[in-house]
Amino acid sequence: MLKKIPVDQMRLGMHLQGMCGAWLDHPFWKSKFVLRDPEDLKKLRGSSVRECWIDVSKGLDVETSVAEVPDSSAGPSGLDAPAAIDADAAADVARASQIAPRTGVPMADEVRRATALCNASRAAVMSLFSEARMGRAIDTEKCAELVSEITESVWRNPAALVSLARLKTHDDYTYMHSVAVAALMVALSKQLGLDESQARLAAKAGLLHDMGKAMMPLEILNKPGKLTSEEFAIMKTHPGCGHELLLSGDGVDPAVLDVCLHHHEKVDGSGYPNQLRGEQISMLAKMGAVCDVYDAITSNRPYKQGWDPAESIARMAGWAKGHFDDAVFKAFVTSLGIYPTGSLVRLKSGLLAVVTQQNEASLIAPEVKVFFSTRQGLHVTPRLLNLADSKCTDQIIGRESNDAWKFTHLDELWAGEEALRKMGRKT
């Protein structure tokens, strides 16, 4: 049975089922466990969380002297629900009410929230991988709140978290790749017209799709150079390893298992591990394939620099016929834009600019920040330009590769100095 109680009534031996309030305010990245450590209780009472849900069937109840009649009028999220319900069902009700189709949040506002979410996500995924390497079964419900926070952020503004997660460091790649793919899966889900619950499932599949890499030898996983054919053969076993790892846990959704096993399949049958082709591959696995590749090629790796977002879209378009499902890839491009946030572009005026935000009305006319004049060969005072504005006479004439220009501040132009500093990208 679930009860909602004030934090000051929490005591050791209680089973913490959930914490009320924003996930980023929670002192723990997971919320379902028995409180055994006095330090954990101290953290909880010292946090901004004021109320918690406990499961008295799995841990201690409140002391008799302070026991209260369970609130029968509201569930974990204020929804009508019976006082005594199955714990997992209650958790589902809570998560289902956490996402509303909110859109139009300014990029700068969501970047601030997404920066904190990126840092919290990194710690959470590192913990999941660590538990897997120690041979522990993966409890996928532990990441439920993280999945909801990722989904809600992308629902508010698709570009913020997707773009920030791309700015991972070499050392963070394995962990932040999972977060980035989860965010990309939500953006793609939204573009495909899926509802919030389906988007959350897609996010969960993206977050867990590469868990098999936890079972790969670290000397191969972290090798600062191209893999040999033998090493690549070992790495190609990670979908199967991840599938087995997730199966060892309880109640994993079949769709999540499917994406984990089949996100490297290609529609022409040349993928792995089962050489599936066309309609043999599920829609969610096709989505996972596109999102996985995009984040991989735009990320800096120990052995290569990531490609510019717009360059990556262009290259993927060249592979699309045999590699990706056409409809899924077209929706993916629409979700990010032909010139995704962070892309370096050249304008008709001769100015160079960085894409800062998409315009829903036109894929070829995003908002940009101009900063360099190719005609003068000089930096100019950065300023925003909405290319979709009827009064604007400039337009994009092509993408640019920073390999030639060597600009070091492109990410700062769209994300801001504070966000990069908090992401560990700028001191």
Q: What is the 3-state secondary structure (H, E, C) of 341-407?
A: CCCEEEECCCEEEEEEEEECCEEEEEEEEEEEECCCCEEEEEEEEECCCCCCCCCEEEECCHHHHCC
Asked, for residue 112, whether it belongs to a domain, the answer is yes
Domain boundary among 274, 301, 336: 336
- Check whether residue 213 and residue 267 sit in a common domain: yes
Structure confidence at residue 219 (pLDDT): 93
118 and 226 within one domain:
yes
Q: How confident is the model at residue 38 (pLDDT cuts 50, 70, 90)?
A: confident
pLDDT at 6 over 80: yes
* pLDDT for 29: 54
Strands 378-386 vs 33-34: parallel, antiparallel or unpaired: unpaired
Closest CA to 197 of 281, 82, 98: 98
pLDDT of residue 50: 85
Tell me whether residue 64 is in a domain. Answer: yes
At 30 the pLDDT is 62
Place of tokens 């790749």: 177
Alpha-carbon torsion (378, 380, 382, 386), positive or negative:
negative
What order do you get walking across the sheet with 33-34 strand by strand?
2-6, 51-55, 15-19, 33-34
- What does the DSSP 8-state code read for residue 189? H
Better-scored residue on pLDDT, 239 or 28: 239
Pick from 128, 138, 259, 239: nearest CA to 189: 259
223: region left, alpha or beta (phi > 0 left; psi from -120 to 50 alpha) = beta
**pLDDT at position 273, please?**
98
Whether 190 and 210 share a structural domain: yes
What are 5's two structure tokens? 């109680």
- Is there a domain that residue 146 lies in? yes
Q: Which of 252, 159, 271, 149 is nearest to 208 (CA)?
A: 252
pLDDT score at 22: 60
Q: Is the pLDDT of residue 320 over 80?
A: no
Which of the listed residues 96, 115, 132 is the one where a domain comes to its end? 96
* Residue 16 placed within a domain: yes
Residues 352, 222 share a domain = no
Same domain, 332 and 349: no
- Per-residue pLDDT, 254: 95
Highest mean pLDDT among 17-21, 142-146, 226-230, 316-320: 226-230
Q: ∠ at Cα 30 (209, 241), nearest 5°?
A: 25
Q: Which domain holds residue 189?
A: 107-336
User: CATH code at 167?
Assistant: 1.10.3210.10
Cβ proximity of 260 and 205 under 8 Å: yes
Residue 216 has pLDDT above 70, yes or no: yes
Q: Note the pLDDT tens digit of each residue in 100-131.
A: 333 468 888 899 899 999 988 988 899 999 99
- Establish if 427 belongs to a structural domain: no
Number of domains in the chain: 3
d(CA 407, CA 193): 38
pLDDT confidence band for 94 (50 / 70 / 90): very low
Domain check: are 20 and 78 in the same one? yes
Using CA atoms of 322, 320, 154, 407 in order, give the dihedral in degrees to the nearest 10.
Answer: 130
pLDDT category of residue 2 using cuts at 50, 70 and 90: confident
Cα distance between residue 196 and residue 384, in whole Å: 32
Are residues 212 and 117 both part of a single domain?
yes
383 and 410 both lie in a single domain? yes
Same structural domain, 31 and 116: no
Evaluate whether residue 102 is within a structural domain.
Answer: no
Q: What is the average pLDDT across 397-406?
A: 92
Rounded Cα gap, residues 297 and 54, in angstroms: 44
Query: Is 308 inside a domain boundary?
Result: yes
pLDDT at 87: 36
Residue 250: pLDDT band with limits 50, 70, 90: confident
Q: What is the pLDDT of residue 427?
A: 43
- Which pLDDT score, from 0 to 100, does residue 305 have? 82
Is residue 19 a contact partner of residue 31, using CB atoms and an 8 Å limit?
A: yes
Judge if 169 and 316 occupy the same domain. yes
Within this chain, do residues 183 and 310 fall inside the same structural domain, yes or no? yes
Are residues 183 and 147 part of one domain?
A: yes
Higher local confidence (pLDDT), 12 or 259: 259
Amino acid at 82: P
Is 49 part of any domain? yes
**Rounded CA gap, 52 and 20, in Å?**
6
Domain boundary among 300, 315, 336: 336
